């Protein structure tokens, strides 16, 4: 039996029960006032599926209120299918593919994937390497900036700075406008613990900030050096290889204003790669709370 044969992927009542167990693991919580004690279920033919009533603030709600699913007319079981497909596909799944699988319009599928990427966006900004472990930092280039002529080098491309904590295996990426000390140094300071061992290539914007950490090892790619003991950036290069294969092979094009959400998607899947697909999907669905994403026309 396929995992997609499970009841909550096809039945709305089961889908609501599944999402409630993820969002409310210890019982319903009113999204309006935050109370738990006096919540009752509203039943009847005219009542919406999963509708509840809070006796404290006297307001009605469902599990979708206050989440990225709020106000969506897409059946919840299709949302769960989309979440599973996006979380289980190593390099992502295109909105065109989802619109064919789920039998929704392309615009609907596009908006669904962006809402799910918003759910994947981590709110954890604790520094990497707090245990004194190695943290790799590097930058990559993708796509082309709108209206910028193609020139020699990378000035016309989108720029991303990423960090990977070797100990936890987690990744974090930030889209930047320029790659220089003024831009990169604050990112490194805010995301890497002082006791960490910083691992970078020979780029000049890491030299000064690298002195602020317990250790800073550099590898010189320009001289053909890609590893010297524990000094290497091979882990983060592996992360970039997955990201670029997904962006070029699956998504093919990404507007600059949406790149940060695609980065959140790849960060999430990479950081949660050691768990099973179903567990990874539940982790993503737990992140829908307190987030809203309003409609924006696809680029």
DSSP 149: P
Burial status of residue 271 (CB atoms within 10 A of its CB: 0-12, 13-18, 19 or more): buried
The pLDDT value recorded for residue 277 is 96
Enumerate residues 6+ apart whose C-beta is below 8 A from 224: none
Model confidence pLDDT, tens digit, residues 86-141: 999 999 999 999 999 999 999 999 999 999 999 999 878 899 999 999 999 999 99
Q: What is the mean pLDDT of residues 145-156?
A: 82
Q: What is the mean pLDDT of residues 244-263?
A: 92
pLDDT band at residue 296 using 50, 70 and 90 as cut-offs? low
**Nearest residue to 47 via CA among 60, 35, 59:** 60
Q: What is the mean pLDDT of residues 36-53?
A: 90
The pLDDT value recorded for residue 299 is 47
Pair 39, 47: CB distance under 8 Å: no
Terminal-to-terminal C-alpha distance of the chain: 38
Residue 295 pLDDT exceeds 90: no
Residue 6 pLDDT exceeds 60: yes
How much of the chain exceeds pLDDT 70, in percent? 98
Q: What is the mean pLDDT of residues 228-245?
A: 95
Residue 214 pLDDT exceeds 70: yes
The pLDDT value recorded for residue 100 is 97
How much of the chain exceeds pLDDT 90, in percent? 80
Q: Which of 119-133, 181-195, 281-295 has the highest mean pLDDT?
A: 181-195
Residue 222 pLDDT exceeds 70: yes
- How wide is the angle at C-alpha 275 spanned by C-alphas 273 and 277, nearest 5°? 85
Q: What is the mean pLDDT of residues 237-263?
A: 93
**Nearest residue to 118 via CA among 282, 260, 280:** 260
Structural domains of the chain ordered from first start = 134-253 (3.30.420.10)
For the chain, give the mean pLDDT.
93
Instruction: Please state which of the ranges 9-18, 117-126, 161-170 shows the lowest mean pLDDT.
Output: 117-126
Residue 297 pLDDT exceeds 70: no
The model carries a pTM of: 0.92
Residue 153 pLDDT exceeds 50: yes
User: Residue 119, SS3?
Assistant: helix
Q: Which of 63-77, 140-154, 283-297 has the highest mean pLDDT?
A: 63-77
């Amino acid at each position: 039996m396929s995992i997609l044969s499970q009841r909550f992927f096809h039945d709305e009542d089961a889908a609501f029960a599944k999402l409630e167990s993820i969002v409310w693991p210890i019982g319903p919580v009113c999204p309006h006032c935050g109370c738990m004690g006096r919540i009752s279920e509203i039943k009847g033919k005219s009542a919406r599926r999963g509708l509840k009533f809070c006796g404290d603030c006297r307001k009605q709600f469902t599990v979708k209120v206050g989440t990225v699913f709020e106000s969506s007319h897409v059946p919840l079981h299709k949302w769960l299918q989309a979440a599973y497909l996006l979380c289980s596909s190593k390099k992502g799944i295109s909105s065109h593919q989802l619109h064919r699988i789920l039998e929704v319009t392309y615009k609907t599928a596009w908006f669904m994937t962006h809402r799910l990427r918003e759910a994947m966006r981590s709110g954890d900004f604790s520094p990497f390497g707090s245990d004194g472990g190695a943290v790799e930092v590097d930058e990559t280039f993708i796509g082309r900036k709108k209206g910028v002529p193609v020139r020699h080098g990378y000035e016309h491309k989108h720029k991303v700075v990423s960090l990977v904590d070797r100990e936890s295996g987690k990744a974090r990426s930030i889209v930047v406008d320029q790659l220089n000390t003024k831009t990169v140094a604050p990112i490194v300071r805010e995301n890497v613990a002082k006791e960490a061992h910083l691992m970078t290539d020979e780029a000049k914007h890491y030299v000064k900030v690298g002195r602020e950490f317990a250790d800073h090892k550099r590898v010189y790619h320009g001289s053909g050096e890609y590893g010297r003991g524990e000094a290497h950036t091979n882990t983060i290069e592996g992360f970039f290889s997955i990201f670029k294969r997904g962006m070029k092979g699956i998504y093919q094009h990404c507007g600059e204003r949406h790149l940060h959400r695609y980065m959140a998607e790849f960060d999430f899947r990479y950081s949660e790669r050691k768990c099973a697909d179903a567990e990874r999907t539940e982790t993503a669905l737990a992140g829908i709370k307190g987030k809203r994403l309003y409609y924006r026309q696809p680029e």
